[in-house]
Amino acid sequence: MGIMANIVCKTAGVAGMSAVLYDAYSLGKANSKRVSEDAEADRFIKIHAETRTLSTESPIKNAMQKRVAKWRADMPFMSTLYSIKGFTGGLLDSLADNIVPAACASIALAAKGTFAKIGAIGLAGYGVYQVAKEGFGFTKKTPMS
């Protein structure tokens, strides 16, 4: 394989892998915020609901319950855990959705000779298909049809 073909295959592989990883990071970041906000809201509702009832009427238990509820509501690491969970979920979902371009880009980057060309051609074909599908509506069902 000529040096020019090798450069083209490796460049296509880098571009494809960059697009896949950028997409995965962006969706992970968006999902992180969404999951964190939803989980925090659910947690605060639960904490608030638990402070509205006591098993027996007692001013000491009531004060203790309110202090524990405030402590639970102010835990900063819970938000971080929810963010990590959301980011990981979004990242892995995106990588699963983009398995074909990731595989083609990996082949174009890692293989040599004919296999590198096959990976680059597959990546280009997938890109053309996505432009036709998402840009021009080829094989895409719309609510109007």
pLDDT digits (tens, 9 = 90+) for 64-80: 888 888 888 888 788 88
pLDDT digits (tens, 9 = 90+) for 60-117: 888 888 888 888 888 878 888 999 999 999 999 999 999 999 999 999 999 988 999 9
Tell me the CA end-to-end span of the chain in Å, nearest whole number: 47
Alpha-carbon distances of 47 from 6, 86, 141, rounded to whole Å: 60, 21, 44
What is the DSSP code (8-state) at residue 98? T
Mean per-residue pLDDT, 2-21? 92
**Global pTM?**
0.76
Whether residue 65 contacts residue 17, with contact meaning beta carbons closer than 8 Å, is answered with: no
Query: How do the domains of the chain map onto residue ranges?
Result: 3-136
Q: What is the mean pLDDT of the chain?
A: 88
74 phi and psi angles, rounded to 5 deg: -95, 5
What's the confidence (pLDDT) of residue 145? 62
What's the confidence (pLDDT) of residue 59? 85
Residue whose pair of structure tokens reads 């296999």 in the numeric block: 115
Mean per-residue pLDDT, 3-7? 89
Structure tokens of 104? 């083609």
Q: Which amino acid is at 63?
A: A
